[in-house]
Chain A
Amino acid sequence: MKISLSWLKRHVDFSWSASELAERLTLRGFESEVATDFSTLDHVVVGQVISCQKHPDADKLSLCKVSDGSTEFDVICGAPNVATNQKIVFAKVGAILPGNFKIGKAKIRGIESHGMICSERELGISEEHEGILVLDDKAKVGTSIEKVLGPLFNAIEVEITPDKGFALSHRGIAREIAAMTNQSLKIPFSLQKPKQNTSLEKISIDLDSKGGCTRYIGAVMNDVKVGPSPDWLKNYLKSVGQKSINNLVDISNFILLEIGQPTHIFDFSKFKKRTVAVQWAKEKEKYHALDEETYELSQNHLVITDSKETVALAGIIGGYDSAVTDMTTEVLIESAYFDPIIIRKGSKKLGLLSEASRRFERGIDPNSSMEALLIIIQLIEEIAGGKLSSQITDSCAVNLESKKLYLSEINLNSVIGQITPKKEITSLLKQLDFNPKETKDGWECLIPTYRHDIDQEADLVEEVLRSIGYENIQSDFTYQTTLVNTKDDEYSISKLKNHLSSLGFSQCYNNSLQDISEVNAFGINPIEVLNPTSERMNTLRTTLHQGLLKNLDYNFKNGNADVQFYEYGTIFSKEGEGLSGINQQSSFSSLVHGNWQDNNVHFKSIPLSFYYLKGVLENINVHFMSTKLKFITNKHPYLDSYQDIVDSKGDSIASIGTVKSSFLRKLDIAHKHPVHLMDINLQTFDQYSNYAVKFQEIAPYPKVIRDLNFKLSSSVIIGDVVKVMQSTNQSILIDVKPVDIFKKSKQDSDQDVLFKLTFQSDKKTLEDNDVNPIINDVIKIISSKFKGILRDK
């Protein structure tokens, strides 16, 4: 909310600049920044237009001579309202206007311009940019603009948190300043409640039956002349960036920003009956509002009626038909208190927010309703020539008494963590208008009716604390705590992440929200979002594969075809009704594509293949799980060569597969090589990763290594051959590995496979006669089972 310094000064005295004020309010819980501060504008002065002619080469431009009191400058001006003798705001060469707009010498259509005549927008006062700002004729030429405009238009922007509705007005902010500086508020209006003249008409006001409106004050004035507002009123509104509309609307807006009470002024002649009834709207009632839009109301909308027709949507926006026009002479003034929740529901339902609804939904001061009405009557008399022509009807069902609330001294000091002398607290509470009465253990406070945010002791603690100032609380670096294991259920997973990253994988973070049409390609029963930000993000991911494939596509298109990615994150699917039917679980997937390392002078790159992922999994197994892996070939909707990897108990450990090329084409994923995916089952991983390492005795006798080269049919599965070799001896043949495969051509029906057999005993150094019989057994069995022929023994 924009707050004007001059407006604040109606209510409280202070000498701070805009930036000092913003800083102090920020430290009191009202985050503020400078909106307009003329004291920071150098080289901007009151100027006078000495002469003004058409630019020879441009119809819409004027060529002016502008005086700063001592020198005359040639200035080009594009505003239609510029004229000789005007006092204007002159930004000289070297000035820097708001928004870091630097004024320099400029050639415009062949003529040099030395400075600029400013509009309100260029000065940061308002959005007005149609013409230049013309100053009062009394302004002295050459005076710095700070002296002329500063007192009127210096302003700050204050962010009011949702609990502090009481601060949504100049008086609200002024109260804070008064509390900070230990003064009382000034009273800008001397109000006298008009004597009730019972001979005047009495407007009947019916409140609704459900507490939607608990106070409604109404009064009628006639002989009102609608017209422009006086300058003082226009300037106040301008100082907070509001446009002047006419005297009646401006008065209502002024009161809202002055004390925070929204009011409404109706053209009373438009009422079918001279009465007010607050009611609930009819279902699907059409309502034509002041903003010229038509809204469909529901039974939960509170409306103001003349007992026949709706004239306003209560607390949100007035009706079009009952609005004040230039022809209006008789008005009904409304000053009311509406229930916060009802106003909020009503405004949310229509998506219609107004300055009034914003205040009502936060709770206004029910005690300010009469005050607002009286000020309006007084102002209309003064500036619109109206006369009160009815009694003032006050239908009131709201409690206007202050609430009592107790603050205990022990609780206060212990929550803050430091002792503040009781007297000091008492005076802080006084400054906050809580009327504290000291008791033996604390304070009996009376909470003003505008403080809807205070309903428990903790709220008073905060008030005291922010008055002391958070910066004045001594930090306490001691802490008492029971020593417990600082456990982290994801500890083993972070080890896995670090491990993969050091193997060359990059960790990805993908959006959980994806496009339903894409999600459907991957999984079943996805969960959709009721209110997505966009259609491209309307469904929760069912797998991490989707994001990783997108990452491949993106990087491939950006010149990085070789990728090794993994992601850890939550995936979602719907398995039943309601929250309990939602399956949300952590998942871990990785993707590889392209080559492992680049070709270089030392070695050739190798493809990131199925075997690479298999090797990574085996590596993970050795590092973290140390179990026996079993590979089972299975089917998968979009993966080929799909392998489920389980442990000896059959528990799933991981799965590896190659994305079907038809699937990649369907999703339009850019790629050049096969794309491989691996998932790791986190539950099993977590169980295994806590395994205790058991030391194994190191065998003191050397290994004996023998190579055997077999010619085998290409159809032979080498893994089967290895298994058979291993089965020939369980005691000293400790390892069998294929180390080379040779084929003359891809189509060759034979292959030469070189096997490395490792022998070792834990009892003795092995001799040839220990190893040779086993070698002979191996040769025999391979020849009989696989028709393998031993080459060059």
Chain B
Amino acid sequence: MSIDKTIKDIQTSFNKEFSTIASASALEEIRVKFLGRKGLVNDLFEMFNQLPNAEKPKYGKSINILKTDITQAIEDKQASFQENTVTSSIDLSLPGIQLKRGSIHPLEAITSEIKSIFQSIGFSIAYGPEIDDEYHNFEALNVPKHHPARDMQDTYYIDPETVLRTHTSNVQIHLMEEQEPPLRHICVGRVFRNEAVSYKSYCLFNQVEGLVVNETTSFAQMKGTIEYFITELFGADTKMRFRPSYFPFTEPSAEVDIWNDKLQQWMEIMGCGMVNPKVFNNVGYPSNIKGYAFGMGIERIAMIKYGINDIRLFYQNDQRFLEQF
């Protein structure tokens, strides 16, 4: 029998027998039969040794390949039998190792989202004092002492000239006192209102305000920026409207509503407007300067976004509430 034929026969019979193997012991039998000391592959090598030297290179390579193939196939099969043994010995139905999750407060989560939307369009973030003088909280913002506009924000006083800020707008004044235009900032922080605590009002809330100041901005640009922001935060399909309103520090002023499909009504989401020239005058900016400002309450946005119906939940820190975010 030619060695060539023997190689092919061994290959064929290995393939045939190998394909029917169902157990580790059967595999072992085959291993011995083919690769054992007295196995078929070794026999083949003996035949090979008796070949004339001139013919050896011709068959050496194919015999080696045959041996490697068979060895590889058997090792792979062995490994797969072992794996099966391991898997079948564990109860896959047991729960995974549960690591308790922590959470970011929902107000923080919304604030971060808002910050990053504005940072992506070139706004810096500014912070300022929660206790400030009346001048920075009111007068500089064109809210004179005896003006009915004071009634819009019930104020906590520390002493007759010092207040817990009622909005983050005091930061805008500090910014403008410290920096020359142009400005492009949002101010973030906690603000206080002297209101009775109920499901819809709390004695404090978190605010984000924006301020853009340069020589060329306009109401139309403000509208564009706010529309961009709202669609980023609430989705591209959000229906919104701008309507005239009143804030002492902006003129013209607007209120922005978004449409709530579930309630079938408009919901106030933020206030905005062109910075009142009187405010620029108070901080000593030149008269050709223009700007716009806007502001929103984070609690309100979080309540709309997450469907939360009681503002007090934000400050109760019930684990069952916190872990949902």
Contacts and interface: CB of A to CB of B under 8 A. Distances in A.
Interface string A128-162: 00000000000000000000000000000000011
The prevalent SS among residues of B at the interface is mixed
Interface residues of B, number: 90
B244 A470 contact: yes
Contacts of B27: none
Interface string A366-406: 00000000000000000000000000000000000000000
B133 interface: yes
Interface stretch (B46-54, B71-79, B158-166): B158-166
A502 to B, nearest CB: 6
Interface size class of A (residues with CB under 8 A): 35 or more
B300 interface: no
Contacts of B245: 29, 31, 161
Given A28-B244, A501-B102, A506-B103, A489 B157 contact: no
B146 A344 contact: yes
B315 interface: yes
Contact of A458 (B105, B277, B315): B277
Interface in B248-271: 248, 251-255
Given A344-B146, A414-B218, A456-B278, A486 B122 contact: yes
A466 B252 contact: yes
A504 B182 contact: no
B274 A558 contact: no
B33 interface: no
A509 B131 CA distance: 18
Contacts of B64: none
Contacts of B204: 511-513
B244 A462 contact: yes
Contact of A479 (B100, B147, B221, B317): B221
A466 B253 CA distance: 9
Interface in B218-276: 218-221, 223-225, 227-228, 241-246, 248, 251-255, 274, 276
A19 interface: no
**Taking each of B97, B315, B317, which has the highest tally of chain A beta carbons within 10 Å of its own beta carbon?**
B317
A341 interface: yes
Contacts of B108: 497, 507, 509
B112 interface: yes
Contacts of A485: 124
Interface in A578-607: 578-579, 582, 584, 596-598, 600-603
Contact of B94 (A503, A507, A601): A601
Contacts of A457: 277
A529 B157 contact: yes
Contact of B220 (A27, A418, A598): A418
Contact of A486 (B97, B124, B223): B124
Interface stretch (A179-187, A329-337, A561-569): A561-569
Nearest to A362: B148
Contacts of B34: none
Contact of B242 (A471, A477, A533): A471
B215 to A, nearest CB: 9
Given A361-B148, A529-B157, A560-B319, A29 B244 contact: yes
B98 A465 contact: no
B105 A462 contact: no
Interface in B69-121: 94-95, 97-105, 107-108, 112, 115, 118-119, 121
17 contacts: A27-B243, A27-B244, A414-B216, A415-B218, A415-B290, A456-B278, A466-B244, A476-B221, A478-B221, A478-B224, A506-B103, A513-B156, A527-B131, A533-B194, A555-B318, A579-B161, A584-B130
Nearest 9 pairs between A and B by C-beta?
A417-B218, A417-B220, A29-B244, A462-B252, A161-B246, A162-B148, A476-B220, A488-B125, A466-B244
Interface of B: 94-95, 97-105, 107-108, 112, 115, 118-119, 121-125, 127, 129-133, 146-149, 151-152, 156-162, 164, 182, 184, 190, 192, 194-197, 203-204, 214, 216-221, 223-225, 227-228, 241-246, 248, 251-255, 274, 276-278, 290, 314-320, 322-323
